């Protein structure tokens, strides 16, 4: 069983995207960094903001790509190749249209559900076999509305639901980091 060595939060850089639904992965990464007392630094060679955390199970890297969502894989592959991190040692936190707002799903592998960040990562890693922490943001109901929906701010109630999902996800990080993935799925999916 592989241990998680790289945790990626997906989002878009820049103040205009900071509070949009598509940045739920960044919100998770920021909260995790705060909890683990880690500070992100701009790392040009990894195309993003990076934090290194000394954990009991070994060093773990946190990454927020600065490449915009549809090129997220560029940052992930640059860091993963440099530190010899395998795809199954990567966990990606991202917004998920196909899950109700405030709900969480955790899984290894699978499709990309049209998510451009996941699509690019799968293409560049050459495999879908990395862990996904899927933070539900709901679907606008019509696929033609998706782009506008993910690039807009959630309502105050939706933001609270997403924040609560992030908080629940952080509570499960010790079991995820211990490699107890089945237990993590049970804990997260029941919330």
Residue 149 assigned as binding residue: no
Beta carbons within 10 angstroms of residue 22's beta carbon: 23
Q: What is the phi/psi pair of residue 187, to 5°? A: -65, -45
- Which own/partner pairs from 182-190 qualify as long-range (CB within 8 Å, at least 24 positions apart)? 184/106, 185/106, 185/107, 188/104, 188/105, 188/106, 188/133, 189/104, 189/105, 189/106
Q: Is 139 a catalytic residue?
A: no
Per the CB < 8 A criterion, the answer to whether 81 and 95 are in contact is no
Residue 112 assigned as binding residue: no
- What gap in Å lies between CA 14 and CA 1, rounded to an integer? 37
Residue 131 assigned as binding residue: no
50 three-state secondary structure: strand
- What gap in Å lies between CA 170 and CA 28, rounded to an integer? 8
Q: Which of 22, 94, 139, 189 is catalytic?
A: 22
Residue set of the binding site for tRNA: 17, 68, 70, 116
The residues assigned a catalytic role are: 22
């Amino acid at each position: 069983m592989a241990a998680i060595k790289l945790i990626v939060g997906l989002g878009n850089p820049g103040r205009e995207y900071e509070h949009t639904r598509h940045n739920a992965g960044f919100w998770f990464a920021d909260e995790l960094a705060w909890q683990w007392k880690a500070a992100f630094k701009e790392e040009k060679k990894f195309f993003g903001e990076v934090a290194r955390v000394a954990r009991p199970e070994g060093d773990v890297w946190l990454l927020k790509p600065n490449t915009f969502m549809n090129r997220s894989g560029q940052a992930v592959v640059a860091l993963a190749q440099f530190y010899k991190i395998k795809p199954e040692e990567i966990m990606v936190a991202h917004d998920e249209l196909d899950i109700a707002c405030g709900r969480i799903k955790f899984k290894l592998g699978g499709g990309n559900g049209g998510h451009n960040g996941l699509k690019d990562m799968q293409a560049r890693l050459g495999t879908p076999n990395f862990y996904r922490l899927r933070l539900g943001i709901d679907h606008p109901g019509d696929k033609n509305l998706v782009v506008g929906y993910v690039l807009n701010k959630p309502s105050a109630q939706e933001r609270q639901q997403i924040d609560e999902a992030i908080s629940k996800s952080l509570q499960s990080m010790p079991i995820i980091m211990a490699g107890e993935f089945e237990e993590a799925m049970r804990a997260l999916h029941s919330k």
